[in-house]
Amino acid sequence: MTNAEIADVFDQIADLLEFQGANPFRVRAYRNAARTLRELTESLEQMVYNSPDSLTQISGIGADLAEKISTLVKTGTLPLLEELRQQVPMGVLEVMRVPGLGPKRAAALYRELGISSLEQLREACMAQKVRELPGFGAKTEEKILQGIELAAEAGRRTLWAIADQLVQNILTHMKQCKEVGTIEPAGSYRRGKETVGDLDFLVITRKPAVVMDHFSRLDGIAQELARGDTKMSVRLALGIQVDVRVVPEESFGAALQYFTGSKAHNVVLRGLAKDRGLKINEYGVFRGERRIAGRTEQEVYGALDLPWFPPELREAREEFQWAAAGQLPVLVELADLKGDLHVHSDWTDGQNSLEEMAEAARQRGLQYLAIADHSKRVSMAHGLDADRLRRQWEEIDRLNEKWKNFQLLKSIEVDILEKGGLDLPDKVLAEADWVVASVHYGQNQSREQITKRVVEALSHPAVSVFAHPTGRLLNERPPYAIDLEAVLEAAKKYGKMIELNAHPARLDLDDVGCAAARKMGVLVVISTDAHSISGLDALRYGVLQARRGGLSRQHVANTRPWPELKRLLGRS
């Protein structure tokens, strides 16, 4: 059991106790314990087996909680948890997790309206019964409905990074079958969309039945949904559906084009074909009965006098205008990136030392790395005050003597405070190479309020970039109410940059935001926000998103060597 899993159990106990109206001090003890355990660097499991006495030395963990941690590690569950689960209807846990609710409000909904499932909650909102409860109101009711929508959707779409692992597994499995000639993933996965609904594969084979039999032996299939002569669909245990289609070799390009989509892109394409008296479908491009293209995507697009479009651009946004002008952009690539400008270390909530992070970045071919640990306001992460920050910078100076073609940058992820203003004195910020500003608190402020404090932060001379600009967490948290256009305008005005946070659950800016920055002339910085060495590998997800936004290397700040980037910041 990982520390995070143990912390989750304690959080769940706190939720369930609070739902029951238990003593608030008892509730808080579990919540605080969960937070402490989540931040602990040593493994609880190892402590339980190697030095159980040391558990009580963790702050906030007394004999009782230590005992519970041991039981959890050894048995995988707790009598208390099982007991609470018996007492509280299962669906209530889901109701609690709807944004804007929580245990207390879930309890009121249960007590007053008998609501113990998302479906019942939705019905009660639709019937406008929820707004009548004390402390709820029409606006809350509306918010709850949106929250249910989000919670329902959360189960439906898979993060691209997870889909990618599945795709690689499936490809490896399928290539073990010698009857599989060619196999390619299509759909939203191929377009690099940040979440995918289902996976679509196309196969060329002379023996479809053999290929489908082989596919049905893939590990992790929960259910076979459908099987015909040329198409098979299954549901994986993880919940995602996978479609495999067998297509003839002479139509492969047309099928790949068609099933890559997007639907909107294909609609425009069909219109363009029609204008020329042609017909396009998954079998090819036809003049009358005669197929004039279909074997490759190049051939299919070529038959319509169009260039081959990188799949990331196929959303019917700007790609057809670019093609008409003969100016398809050359999109940014992973190899273009020369540095990562937002990572954390074990000075705050990261897992690796400065040196470990630096060596890992060097191994990945980067020339610079900005250590942007949290500032003090983010107390949960042991954020840095001016003294600790300066000590970190001294260590960075020492480390930098080691390397010739690599540099650690002195940086900070400074919090934009709820009331406006930055979390560290101007004097300290002025000494940094690179200042990342971000919002962690007051995320629920009104559009005016949150936009104002971000615009103000961008006007600060020391700030370099605004990080994870909308705060969204895919499947978990919607964007802040922020006015992105106003933020981009401010960035433009003050010569600041905007981050595309490459964490697979953030990808914030999204593709549309990236395109907006490009059109406004604001440079985008692709950074990982890595909290460990492996987090550095997320750069590629960011690159995919940037490409979806139509960004070329010149639109991305960290394709430049550091000295050049520094000149752009006016900090030479």
Given the rule CB under 6 A, which residues bind ligand DGT? 187-188, 196-198, 200, 258-259, 261-263, 266
CA atoms of 17 and 172, how far apart (whole Å): 47
Among 194, 198, 373, 508, binds Ca ion (CB under 5 A): 198
The 237-276 contact track toward Ca ion, x by CB under 5 A, reads ------x---------------------------------
* C-beta closer to Ca ion: residue 188 or 375: 188
Q: Of residues 409-438, which lie at the interface with Zn ion (CB under 5 A)?
A: 413
Q: Which stretch binds Ca ion (CB under 5 A): 187-195, 227-235, 377-385, 551-559?
A: 187-195
**Contacted by 259, from ligand DGT, Zn ion, Ca ion, none: CB < 5 to 8 Å by type:** ligand DGT
Name the minimum Å distance from CB 188 to ligand DGT: 3
The 491-530 contact track toward Zn ion, x by CB under 5 A, reads --------------------------------------x-
**Contacted by 423, from Zn ion, Ca ion, ligand DGT, none: CB < 5 to 8 Å by type:** none
Q: Of residues 160-199, which lie at the interface with Zn ion (CB under 5 A)?
A: none
Q: Burial level of 168, CB count in 10 A (0-12/13-18/19+)?
A: exposed
Name the minimum Å distance from CB 409 to ligand DGT: 37
**Contacted by 558, from Ca ion, ligand DGT, Zn ion, none: CB < 5 to 8 Å by type:** none
Residue 164 engages Ca ion in binding (rule: CB under 5 A):
no
H/E element, 95: helix 90-97
Three-state secondary structure string covering 123-150: HHHHCCCHHHCCCCHHHHHHHHHHHHHH
Size, binding site for Ca ion by CB under 5 A: 5
Residue 494 amino acid letter? Y
Ramachandran region of residue 506, left (φ > 0), alpha (ψ -120 to 50) or beta?
Answer: alpha
CA atoms of 248 and 470, how far apart (whole Å): 45
Q: Which of 252, 217, 246, 251 is nearest to 232 (CA)?
A: 246
All residues at 6 or more sequence positions from 213 whose CB lies less than 8 Å from its CB, including other chains: none
* C-beta closer to Zn ion: residue 319 or 413: 413
Name the minimum Å distance from CB 258 to ligand DGT: 6
DSSP letter at 348?
A: T
Within 238-385, residue ranges assigned H as helices are 252-260, 263-275, 297-303, 319-324, 354-363
Q: Of residues 498-517, which lie at the interface with Ca ion (CB under 5 A)?
A: none
* C-beta closer to ligand DGT: residue 260 or 438: 260
CA atoms of 555 and 569, how far apart (whole Å): 15
Angle, nearest 10°, between helix axes 386-400 and 354-363?
50
Tokens of 445: 């402020």
The number of C-alpha atoms within 13 Å of 441 and in the hemisphere containing its C-beta is 17
Q: What angle do CA 107, 110, 113 make, to 5 degrees?
A: 135
Name the minimum Å distance from CB 106 to ligand DGT: 31
Tell me the three state secondary structure of residue 480.
coil
Q: Give residue for tokens 């795709």.
A: 167
**Contacted by 185, from ligand DGT, Ca ion, Zn ion, none: CB < 5 to 8 Å by type:** none
Residue 535 engages Ca ion in binding (rule: CB under 5 A):
no
* C-beta closer to Ca ion: residue 6 or 244: 244
**Contacted by 368, from Zn ion, Ca ion, ligand DGT, none: CB < 5 to 8 Å by type:** none
Name the minimum Å distance from CB 46 to Zn ion: 28
The 356-395 contact track toward Zn ion, x by CB under 5 A, reads ----------------------------------------
Q: Give the DSSP per-residue string, 153-220.
A: HHTT-EEHHHHHHHHHHHHHHHHTSTT--EEEE-HHHHHT-SEESEEEEEEE-S-HHHHHHHHHT-TT
Name the minimum Å distance from CB 354 to Ca ion: 42
* C-beta closer to ligand DGT: residue 37 or 199: 199
Q: Give residue for tokens 């954020």.
A: 383
Name the minimum Å distance from CB 407 to ligand DGT: 40
Q: Give residue for tokens 């998103």.
A: 545
* C-beta closer to Zn ion: residue 94 or 413: 413
Name the minimum Å distance from CB 231 to Ca ion: 10
Angle, nearest 10°, between helix axes 160-175 and 208-216?
120
* C-beta closer to ligand DGT: residue 259 or 434: 259
Q: Which of 101, 90, 161 is nearest to 125 (CA)?
A: 101
Angle, nearest 10°, between helix axes 63-75 and 3-19?
120
Q: Which of 551, 552, 545 is nearest to 191 (CA)?
A: 545
* C-beta closer to ligand DGT: residue 187 or 550: 187
**Contacted by 413, from ligand DGT, Ca ion, Zn ion, none: CB < 5 to 8 Å by type:** Zn ion
Residue 187 engages Ca ion in binding (rule: CB under 5 A):
yes
CA atoms of 493 and 456, how far apart (whole Å): 12
CB 375 within 8 A of CB 34: no
Residue 459 amino acid letter? S
**Contacted by 529, from Ca ion, Zn ion, ligand DGT, none: CB < 5 to 8 Å by type:** Zn ion
Residue 200 engages Ca ion in binding (rule: CB under 5 A):
yes
Name the minimum Å distance from CB 420 to ligand DGT: 39
**Which single residue brings its beta carbon nearest to ligand DGT?**
261
Name the minimum Å distance from CB 241 to Ca ion: 7
Name the minimum Å distance from CB 193 to ligand DGT: 6
Name the minimum Å distance from CB 262 to ligand DGT: 5
Name the minimum Å distance from CB 333 to ligand DGT: 23
Tokens of 86: 């018996």
Q: Which stretch binds Zn ion (CB under 5 A): 38-46, 175-183, 324-332, 407-415?
A: 407-415
Instruction: Give the residues lining the site for Zn ion (CB under 5 A).
Output: 413, 529
Interacting residues with Ca ion (CB under 5 A): 187-188, 198, 200, 243
